[in-house]
Structures are given as C-alpha cells and as structure tokens.
Chains A and B, each alone.
Chain A
Amino acid sequence: MKWFRRKRKLKPPEERKIVPDGLWQKCEGCGEILYRKELERDLFVCKKCGYHFRIGSKEYIKILLDGELKEQDTTITTTDPLHFDGYVKQIKETQEKKGLKEAVVTGEGEIGGFEVEFAVMDFGFRGGSMGSVVGEKVKRAILRAIEKKIPLVIVSSSGGARMQEGILSLMQMAKTGSALAELEKARIPYISILTDPTTAGVMASYSSIGDIVISEPGALLGFAGPRVIEQTIKQKLPEGFQRAKFLLEHGFVDTIVDRKELRDTVITILRFLLQKK
C-alpha cells in the first residue's frame, strides 16, 4: 500500500518551468489548474497553495521597480575562452529562445522613489549560471552603487558558476566578493533577495551576505545541490532540506517574504536603512 501513502512531491529543480505559458497552468505545488491571466495578476503565485512559480528578470523588474530599468553594460557579451565544446552554440540558442543576452540584467531603477542599483538574475538563461559576463556585470553594478552612493538590490536565482568557462567562472566569485568588500567599507546598503533556486557559486559569493537577506517562500537555497549531497552521504534528504524555511531556522536568512509583499518590504527596509520618513 505504499502508493497509497505517497505524497505529492515538488518536481526536481531542472524540470520546473520558468514563467508558464499557455491559457491554463497546472500548479507545480498542489496540482491546481490555474487560469494564466489570473496567475499573472497574482504575480505567478498559486492562489490555492501559495506556490511561487519561477519567474524571470523581466517579471521581477515589473514587480519591484517603480518604472523602467535604466539598463547598463549591455555591450559586454559572452565569448568562449576555453573553446568548450558546444558552448558558443548553446549561448546563441539560449539568447534567441529567451530574448536575453545573459543570465543577469543590471542597471539603475527606483523602488518606492528610492534610487537603487539593481541586478536581477534569470534562471532561464543556462540555469542562471555565472560566467565572466555575469560576474563582470554584477561587479560593475556593485561599484556603481558605491560611486553613486545608492543602495544595491540583487535578486538571485542561479545554479552556480558556469562550468563552460571553467576556472574563470570560479574567479567571478572572487571578483564579486571583492567588490562587496568595497561596498561594505563604503557603508552602502545591500539587500539580497533569494529566489528559487539560488545555490553553489552564486550563493557562496554575493547572494548569501547581504546586509539584509530576504527569501521567497519555498526557494531552494544552499551550497551543494541536493543530488550531490544524496550521492555523497548515500541517504535520502529530509523533507524541506535546503528550503527557505530551513535556512531561516538555521540562521542564514533574515526573513521570508511572499512575492506580493516583496516590493513593500524592500521599500520599508530602504526607508529604515536610509533613515528616511
């Protein structure tokens, strides 16, 4: 009777969709059939179970910013430094399919009237992986925040460093981390927003060490991927392992905020940190 007790499980990360399309959408959390237009109005959160669908950089810009993003560094593009088999083709195909140049979009925008330096990652672009371009753009965003003396807000979603750029991807962790050290010394606020999933090289460089770390509910967050851990320790991982609540309980996330309240929460925090009424 094992089948009878089987609980509905979330699909593994790589099988979950980013921004559902079509007229109807099945909730990946509870199985409810949702009307697409309504789902969009609800910021891609299931009205029945609260499951937060994965969304992309364009959606987060709409949700968080007052208006448009003044995008920066659009001219730096990905190359193939290691001559890695198939990499050029993969990047080109992803760019065409997703209408994005890389896994992060950066620039200036306003949130509740506060000017911020904003970076938002896109899990849909090769798993939000960080290669030379992502690292460079994030570094430049951090340095612009220092130069303009405006707070930094980063929305992360990433599987980690990009394998196809090898050691250069690893060095982007050092690059972005170094820039954060300068940000710290300049006493510029940094709000890090973690979304599903943020792991490995990105979590282990800039995402996990904001002045304030916010997570969306249910997001998978951590260093090693669950499958790697299972293979290493040769046992099943407990329910909820590496989910947002797990990190909150272990002291690595300040607060878990529903997508609907995300913008207001960021505004409240900015108002506090900048000591404005």
Chain B
Amino acid sequence: MLGFVLDFERPIVELEKKIEELKMLADSEHLEVKDEIQRLEKKANHLRKNIYSRLNRWQRVRLARHPDRPYLLDYIKYFITDFIELHGDRLFADDPSIVAGIGKFRDRSIVIIGHQKGRTTKEKIRRNFGMPHPEGYRKALRIMKMGAKFGIPIVTFVDTSGAYPGIGAEERGQAEAIARNIKEIATLPVPILTIITGEGGSGGALAIAIADRILIMENAIYSVISPEGCASILWRDASKSSKAAEALKLTANDLLDLKVIDGIISEPLGGAHRNKEGAAALIAEEIDRFLKETEDFDANELVRERLNKFYKMGIFNGN
C-alpha cells in the first residue's frame, strides 16, 4: 500500500500489515480472531499516537519530504471543481514546477497557485523536483494579478525545497523574479491565503507566500536554509542535518512561537501521506473559513494589515 516507509514509521506499518494479514486469514478460514484484531488495532493506534507526538525536528523534515505526501494537484482533485490550469509567464516559457489556475471552491471563484513536485521519475524531472525557475514565479505573479484585477481571492500552496540554483535561472534573473513577487504581492488588493503543505524552502517558498493568512500543516517545515545546507556551512558535514534541523527551529510549532505563521492545520494521525483525503478535508475547512471571513473585505484595510503583519516580523533588542 505504501511505497516508501520512513524508519520511525516502520513499527506502525509492520503492525498494520499484521492486522491486514490476520483479517484476510480470518475471512478465508472463518476463524474467530476478532478479539486479537481488536487488540492489535488498539495497539497500533497507541503506537501511532506515541510515535507521531514525539517526532524530533529532523523526523518532521523527512515527513515533510515524504514522497507519498499529497501535492497540489492531489488537493485540487479533492476540493476544486472546474479547475483550469493556466500556463506560461508570457515572457519566456511555462514552468511546470509551479501550477497556476482558476477554479471553484464550494461555488466560489478562486485563483490557485502552488509548487508541484513529481510522483514518477519522469514527472519529477519534468517538474524539476518542484524547484521553480524565474518563469515559474513570473507566471504565478501574472495569474495572481489577474485574480486581483477581478477581485478574486488567491490561495497558494507551498511545497518546494527551494528556487532552482542553475545557469538558466541566473541568466533569467531568479533573484529579481523573487524580489518582484514579494513586492508586488504585498499590495495585491484581494484576500490571499498561503498554506505550507510540505517543504517551505527559503526564498523559493517566500516568492508565493506573501499572504494575509499563512497556515502550515502539522508535518510541514519552513526554513531559511535546508538542514543539509546549514550543516555543510557550519560543520562542513551535510550528515549533521539532524543537528541543524534542531538549530533552525523550522517546525510548525516553532514557527507559531516565532510569530511567522498564523496557524497550524493538523494532519490525520500518521501524517497527510497516510490519509490524503483526510488531509484534503482539513485543508478545505481552512480555505472555507478564510473565504468566509474575508468575504466583505475592504481592499485598503486588507493591504494595510498585510503590510503591518510583515513589518512586525523579526526579533531584536531596543526600539
């Protein structure tokens, strides 16, 4: 059932397998093992709670990167109707590592923007592992501006290890594209909701994460640098990523403490990758709430509050 199992997930997965086997056996041989199954299921539940409530930061990073974790196009299938993907930045090309489009969420028009990683090797390569080039960010901005023009709310989904560091990206102004996005999105006169669903990888994430409300999923991360990058700079040893993850304070709870995000979306027990539909339902509730709360928005007030929200971020002494 699961293609990829992390080491700390293994006890649960093994127990689940055992329960499945027992159930099959019970069905085929008409045996009375109901009590035993119940006992094991209780044990599995206990184990899940135990393991997932005590994850360290590095384990969260690995969950955030789990290859079975739902991506934007999965979520769109669950709660967006009439979705039309819109392509291209009108300047250079279309960047498949960012998906942008329009659709209906419970009968309301919304603009949807987000990173998209691939599932198969071929698709991973096509989508550049979810690492955008400048044209991806410029496409995102183009579609967001269109939404703003018609007063349509925007929801962005963040899941990238970062903006792509390559020759073409530099030639076409990766830094300029990110800078422009931040500046332009900051004053778009429509409600913007950002949901960090997996990896919030530095500037590559921030370029589509300027919003009125920023939410993060329980097992997602948001960081200025990857733990590997941090470890190789500090200790010249990328294998000390676990230590770096602790130092960077990049989990949902850390981010809430640092007042960088507005809330945490809990995931089904065991993580979003073990119950995609359940995770989608929890996200849909938050989108619904945001759209309802911003229904009668005043554009000036909205933008003013958004600017002030970012003006307040940071911790220092004195004033």
**Do the two chains bind?**
yes
Query: A residues bordering B, Cβ < 8 Å?
Result: 75-79, 81-82, 84-85, 131-133, 135-136, 139, 161-163, 165-175, 177-182, 184-185, 199-201, 203-209, 221-225, 228-229, 232-233, 237, 241-242, 250-252
Other than A161-B203, A178-B306, give 18 A-B pairs with Cβ distance below 8 A: A79-B316, A81-B315, A132-B315, A136-B316, A139-B311, A163-B230, A168-B260, A168-B313, A170-B222, A178-B307, A204-B203, A206-B179, A223-B163, A223-B169, A224-B169, A228-B165, A232-B166, A250-B173
In contact, B175 and A167 (Cβ under 8 angstroms):
no
Using known A-B contacts A166-B249, A173-B182, determine if residue A204 contacts B314 with beta carbons closer than 8 Å: no
> CB-CB < 8 A to A184: which residues of B?
183
In contact, A177 and B307 (Cβ under 8 angstroms):
no
Name A75's contact: one of B180, B234, B319 (CB within 8 Å): B319
Interface size on B, residues (CB 8 A): 53
In contact, B174 and A204 (Cβ under 8 angstroms):
yes
Task: Flag whether B298 is at the interface (Cβ < 8 A).
Answer: no
Query: Could you tell me the distance between the alpha carbons of A186 and B118 in the complex, rounded to whole angstroms?
Result: 43
Give, as a whole number of angstroms, the nearest-CB distance from A184 to chain B. 7
In contact, A177 and B249 (Cβ under 8 angstroms):
no
In contact, A132 and B172 (Cβ under 8 angstroms):
no
Task: Flag whether B13 is at the interface (Cβ < 8 A).
Answer: no
Query: Could you tell me the distance between the alpha carbons of A21 and B278 in the complex, rounded to whole angstroms?
Result: 64
Using known A-B contacts A177-B183, A233-B166, determine if residue A167 contacts B310 with beta carbons closer than 8 Å: no
Give, as a whole number of angstroms, the nearest-CB distance from A46 to chain B. 27
Give, as a whole number of angstroms, the nearest-CB distance from A94 to chain B. 16
Query: Could you tell me the distance between the alpha carbons of A237 and B166 in the complex, rounded to whole angstroms?
Result: 10
Query: Could you tell me the distance between the alpha carbons of A224 and B167 in the complex, rounded to whole angstroms?
Result: 10
Name B186's contact: one of A78, A177, A200, A241 (CB within 8 Å): A177
Give, as a whole number of angstroms, the nearest-CB distance from B158 to chain A. 12
> CB-CB < 8 A to A132: which residues of B?
314-316
1/0 per position for B173-210, CB-CB distance to A under 8 A?
Answer: 11110111011101100000000000000110011011
Task: Flag whether B37 is at the interface (Cβ < 8 A).
Answer: no
Query: Could you tell me the distance between the alpha carbons of A203 and B209 in the complex, rounded to whole angstroms?
Result: 18
> CB-CB < 8 A to A224: which residues of B?
163, 165-166, 169-170, 174
Give, as a whole number of angstroms, the nearest-CB distance from B127 to chain A. 16
In contact, A167 and B182 (Cβ under 8 angstroms):
no
> CB-CB < 8 A to B170: which residues of A?
222-224, 229, 241-242
In contact, B223 and A167 (Cβ under 8 angstroms):
yes
For B225, B230, B306, B314, the residue with the greatest tally of chain A CB atoms inside 10 Å of its CB is B314
> CB-CB < 8 A to B225: which residues of A?
161, 163
> CB-CB < 8 A to B317: which residues of A?
76-79
Name A167's contact: one of B172, B178, B224, B233 (CB within 8 Å): B224
Whose C-beta in chain B lies nearest to the C-beta of A224?
A: B165
In contact, A167 and B258 (Cβ under 8 angstroms):
yes
In contact, A181 and B183 (Cβ under 8 angstroms):
yes
> CB-CB < 8 A to A221: which residues of B?
175
Give, as a whole number of angstroms, the nearest-CB distance from A218 to chain B. 16
Whose C-beta in chain A lies nearest to the C-beta of B254?
A: A167
Sorted from nearest, which 3 A-B pairs have the closest CB atoms? A224-B165, A177-B182, A132-B314
Query: Could you tell me the distance between the alpha carbons of A135 and B310 in the complex, rounded to whole angstroms?
Result: 11
> CB-CB < 8 A to A175: which residues of B?
310-311, 313-314
Task: Flag whether B125 is at the interface (Cβ < 8 A).
Answer: no
Task: Flag whether B171 is at the interface (Cβ < 8 A).
Answer: yes
Give, as a whole number of angstroms, the nearest-CB distance from A187 to chain B. 14
For B166, B170, B230, B317, the residue with the greatest tally of chain A CB atoms inside 10 Å of its CB is B170
Name A205's contact: one of B167, B171, B179, B260 (CB within 8 Å): B179
In contact, A171 and B203 (Cβ under 8 angstroms):
no
Task: Flag whether B33 is at the interface (Cβ < 8 A).
Answer: no
> CB-CB < 8 A to B187: which residues of A?
178, 181-182, 185
